[in-house]
Structure 1
Amino acid sequence: MEKTRDGFKSGTGFVIACIGSAVGMGNIWRFPYMVSDWGGMTFLIPYVLFVILIGSTGLIEEMALGRAAKGGPIKAFGKCTEVHTGKKKSGEIVGLLPVIGSLALAIGYTVVVGWIFKYAFLAISGQLSGMGKNMDVIGGMFGTTASAFGNNTWLVIAVIVTAVIMAFGIAGGIERANKFMMPLLFALFLGLGIYIFTLPGASEGYKYIFTINPKGLLNPRLWIYAFGQAFFSLSIAGNGTVIYGSYLSETEDVVSSARNVAIFDTIAALLAAFVIIPGMAVGGAELSSGGPGLMFIYLVNVFNGMPGGKIVGIIFYICVLFAGMSSLVNLYEAPVATLEERFGFKRPVAVGGIAIVGCIVALLIQGIVSGWMDAVSIYICPLGAMLAAIMFFWVAGKDFAVNAVNQGRDKNIGPWFVPLGKYVLVPLAFIALVAGAVLGGIG
């Protein structure tokens, strides 16, 4: 007899957890940079179009696939090949790739979340504001932090906090933590945005955000990067959304859930842009970095030069910490669930085992984490998303896909869903893989 699986207590809890998984570093340190770099609305127009496309195909597909299989990628992919050929094995082997990808990305993310823990502490203790606008000191702090074995203590703390949340299970740990972190993140970011609005010079940032360059819309690279940003922001990788979907009740509407996740993920990205771009304008700085340098060097300088900058810095890094933690929990869930499903581990043992492995490897890769994250995000994530879409739309087939999505819905999904998934989503996921390899990353 199969034991009863843990799960989300409510559809709202599921949506909030998925929002937490989607709202991460891409929303905060890359999205504002892309908006700035490509000219405000010039970037936002294709970005929103791609969010709608991915939210109405890939996001729905991965949620429905996980729920139909009642398991993570290995079980889900096996379910698809079983529907098609009567055999699970080949699908289960393929499903191992997204699990490995999720663990690899989680390990790299652990290093970054360790940085965030440190900077949140430095902000609260006043050490960040004490650096003033001395870029040598500010840059030196981050250089030391991001070096080999440069942030051991805070990295271990990040792993411990993540493991404690996960050890309490889906409803008692992940759902409860996200219900606390996500509303507070949105409220704090909104408060920051309102405060920035009152500062002199912020208007220049808003003007830039609402600028549109019609000629820029003709640049193919703009569309590629907008797609990449939307693709990775919505956490389509064949792992995290699949495993969260497996904990969802059959009475919940995945189409409605996917829509809400896409909407709130976009709102979070826009809030970050409306805080960071006008904030940089207030500080008289240009948004010249889209990576860690933006968050840990340039913004520190900006905060230290604006009225109330110490409080702004505290609130900002707490928001970033919540975003990082909620994503990290999601990334570790797929490998944890795999140990539970495939080997019968009790949850605390599975969490502890994955946490130890993740912590050891994260400590070792601190000096090369940028290359590590690039390799995973460029190759493994889009490949996992493409494989999940192929399994759902092509291998399991139309009847399986439609039935999985319509479960819990009052109105059946339109006839557009399967063709859009088969002939648009899958090729776009392949394009994300190829374009990422050629351009050195697109998301």
Structure 2
Amino acid sequence: MTQQTSSSREHFGSRLGFILAAAGAAVGLGNIWGFPTQAASNGGGAFLLVYLVMILVVAFPMLVIEMAIGRHGQANPVDSMRSLTSSPAGKRVGEVVGWVGLSVPCLVLAFYSIVGGWIICFMLGAITELAGLEAATAWFKGFSIERNVFGTVVFYLLTIYIVQGGVKQGIEKWSTRLMPALFVLFAVLFVYIMTQDGAMEGLKHYLVPDFSQVFDRKLVLAAMGQGFFSLTIGGCSMLIYGSYLSKKENLPKMAMNVTLVDTAVAFIAGLVVMPAMFVAMQKGVQIYAEDGSLLNSDTLVFQVLPLMFDSLGFVGQLFAVVFFLLLTIAALTSSISMLECPVALVSERCGTRRGVTSWALGGLILLFSVFICFNFGALFGLVATVSTQYVQPVAALLFCLFGGWVWSRNSKINELKQGNPEFEQGFFGKIWPAYVKFVCPLLVATVIWASLG
């Protein structure tokens, strides 16, 4: 099965295309919404410092194993896991691990698209506000089942449209347009926000660490979890993108490039959001409670920042459009990688055309999302918690154990020597096989334990 797909398998057309697509898969609301919120809740600069360390010691080595599994298998997550061993029992276990992994993007996409829909509605609301259409603005910014369903459907249509184009004409083509746009919009917002009163105080809070907080257990666990989710470890996106990576490429180097781009986006998001929060505080918006905790971290992006934009008059409204366009781009670059996982499996195993498969599977997950919209109170938080706090870390642990213990050391090393013949001679090559076997599972188990606590 795997051999058939590898010969005719589509690959990314360029290194930059792969890096931007894979970084785009990782760059999502977790970077632009989650990271600044975590930094604001956990001491700003101290959190940033610990997060950067955690990205290197936890997330990067696991990103390499996930991408290596995909490139070795040259197939969807289920068949790639099967390809790691020749034992029939091992293949059966690998298949189960692949299915657990595949459930992550499907579950995450179901609630993530609803949030993506909110963002599109806020962007449209900012546009109608500029145009003076008060009724439309109230509808787009209000919380109703109709608005949620509308936003979710629009978000799915955009996601499916990109995925049906395939790797080069869909994912790569759009990632190489959307990711640079993301950086440009961030730069414009940063320059603008830094001209406002209170911004410099926010910047200092973000960039100057309080070293007394660096070893705080809660902060370290939050930084580890954020680093882990920031690169979508266990989410299958990196495995599927790795399967489209040419054997000629230096895999650890590509993984490092993806890590750097993803981390840069999180860092820049903090540069924009943290000063913006302090600008909002200067304008009288209450952000922190008396005990120093964030009043409502969930609505930081949807309430605090729009209030700040509103207080800045016409120019602020313009920047509200820019900000929510930026968030839409970030959400889309992630959602296309999530939908790609089941689309790759069905089109490879059943021989179906990509276009039909994309619309059929996207439509099925859309129906589940609409069902969540109609039962929002009971289901939204439940699906979000189950998928991100339980299923994704467990999938990451299984990938790690299977890649570390079942996939033979020689086969792993040989996969990474393709495109990097000196892999074993370097420091990373010497420690990595043992590191993913012993250290990574312990670190992932710690993330799971922390999320249960």
Normalised TM-score (structure 1): 0.92
Q: Which residue of 2 aligns with 1:66?
A: 70
Q: In 1, are the aligned partners of 2:280 and 2:304 still within 8 Å (CA)?
A: no
Which of 1, 4, 23 is equivalent to 1:2?
A: 4
Q: Match for 2:391: what amino acid?
A: I
Unmatched 5+ stretches in structure 1: 132-136, 439-443
Any idea what the Cα deviations from partners look like across 1:131-178, whole Å, max 9, x if unmatched? 8xxxxx98x975614xx4542122111111111111110110000010
Q: In 2, are the aligned partners of 1:102 and 1:334 still within 8 Å (CA)?
A: yes
**SS in structure 2 at match of 1:237:** coil
Q: Does 1:193 align with 2:199?
A: no
Q: Which residue of 2 aligns with 1:341?
A: 348
Which of 304, 307, 310 is equivalent to 1:304?
A: 310
Q: Match for 2:417: what amino acid?
A: N
Q: Does 1:44 align with 2:44?
A: no
Q: Which residue of 1 aligns with 2:291?
A: none
Q: How does 1:410-429 map to 2 (within 5 A)?
A: 410-413=421-424, 414-429=429-444
Q: Does 1:269 align with 2:262?
A: no
CA distance in structure 1 between the aligned counterparts of 2:235 and 2:121, rounded to whole angstroms: 31
Q: Does 1:377 align with 2:380?
A: no
CA pair 289-79 structure 1, distance change in 2 beyond 3 A: farther
Which of 168, 172, 175 is equivalent to 1:171?
A: 168
Q: Which residue of 2 aligns with 1:134?
A: none
1:407 Cα deviation from its structure 2 partner:
1.5
Q: Does 1:162 align with 2:159?
A: yes
Q: In 2, are the aligned partners of 1:181 and 1:322 still within 8 Å (CA)?
A: yes
Q: Does 1:353 align with 2:360?
A: yes
Q: Which residue of 2 aligns with 1:283?
A: 280
1:425 Cα deviation from its structure 2 partner:
0.9
Q: Match for 1:104: what amino acid?
A: L
CA distance in structure 2 between the aligned counterparts of 1:410 and 1:290, rounded to whole angstroms: 51
1:193 Cα deviation from its structure 2 partner:
0.7
Q: How does 1:22-421 map to 2 (within 5 A)?
A: 22-82=26-86, 88-126=91-129, 144-145=143-144, 148-284=145-281, 285=285, 286=287, 288=294, 291-306=297-312, 308-366=315-373, 367=376, 368-413=379-424, 414-421=429-436
CA distance in structure 2 between the aligned counterparts of 1:18 and 1:381, rounded to whole angstroms: 18
Q: Which residue of 2 aligns with 1:441?
A: none
Any idea what the Cα deviations from partners look like across 1:80-133, whole Å, max 9, x if unmatched? 232x568523311221111112111111111111111111111222269988xx
Q: In 2, are the aligned partners of 1:103 and 1:332 still within 8 Å (CA)?
A: yes
CA pair 245-290 structure 1, distance change in 2 beyond 3 A: farther
CA distance in structure 1 between the aligned counterparts of 2:296 and 2:234, rounded to whole angstroms: 22
Q: Match for 2:406: what amino acid?
A: V
CA pair 2-81 structure 1, distance change in 2 beyond 3 A: closer
Q: Match for 1:432: what amino acid?
A: V
CA pair 388-179 structure 1, distance change in 2 beyond 3 A: same
CA distance in structure 2 between the aligned counterparts of 1:203 and 1:432, rounded to whole angstroms: 34
Q: Match for 1:349: what amino acid?
A: V
1:191 Cα deviation from its structure 2 partner:
1.5
**SS in structure 2 at match of 1:377:** helix
1:306 Cα deviation from its structure 2 partner:
2.5
1:64 Cα deviation from its structure 2 partner:
1.0
Q: In 1, are the aligned partners of 2:199 and 2:276 still within 8 Å (CA)?
A: yes
CA distance in structure 1 between the aligned counterparts of 2:158 and 2:266, rounded to whole angstroms: 25
CA distance in structure 1 between the aligned counterparts of 2:132 and 2:226, rounded to whole angstroms: 32
CA distance in structure 2 between the aligned counterparts of 1:213 and 1:129, rounded to whole angstroms: 45
Q: In 1, are the aligned partners of 2:59 and 2:228 still within 8 Å (CA)?
A: no
Q: Percent of pairs identical after alignment?
A: 29
Q: In 1, are the aligned partners of 2:51 and 2:227 still within 8 Å (CA)?
A: yes
RMSD: 2.1
Q: Match for 1:412: what amino acid?
A: F
**SS in structure 2 at match of 1:362:** helix
Aligned residues: 429
1:406 Cα deviation from its structure 2 partner:
2.1
CA distance in structure 2 between the aligned counterparts of 1:125 and 1:277, rounded to whole angstroms: 27
Q: Match for 1:22: what amino acid?
A: A
Unmatched 5+ stretches in structure 2: 289-293
CA pair 209-412 structure 1, distance change in 2 beyond 3 A: same
CA distance in structure 1 between the aligned counterparts of 2:251 and 2:230, rounded to whole angstroms: 18
Q: In 1, are the aligned partners of 2:193 and 2:276 still within 8 Å (CA)?
A: yes
1:218 Cα deviation from its structure 2 partner:
2.8
1:408 Cα deviation from its structure 2 partner:
0.9
CA distance in structure 2 between the aligned counterparts of 1:32 and 1:210, rounded to whole angstroms: 12
CA distance in structure 1 between the aligned counterparts of 2:178 and 2:367, rounded to whole angstroms: 27
CA distance in structure 1 between the aligned counterparts of 2:186 and 2:332, rounded to whole angstroms: 16
CA distance in structure 2 between the aligned counterparts of 1:371 and 1:142, rounded to whole angstroms: 24
Q: In 2, are the aligned partners of 1:122 and 1:128 still within 8 Å (CA)?
A: no
Q: Match for 1:311: what amino acid?
A: L
**SS in structure 1 at match of 2:423:** coil
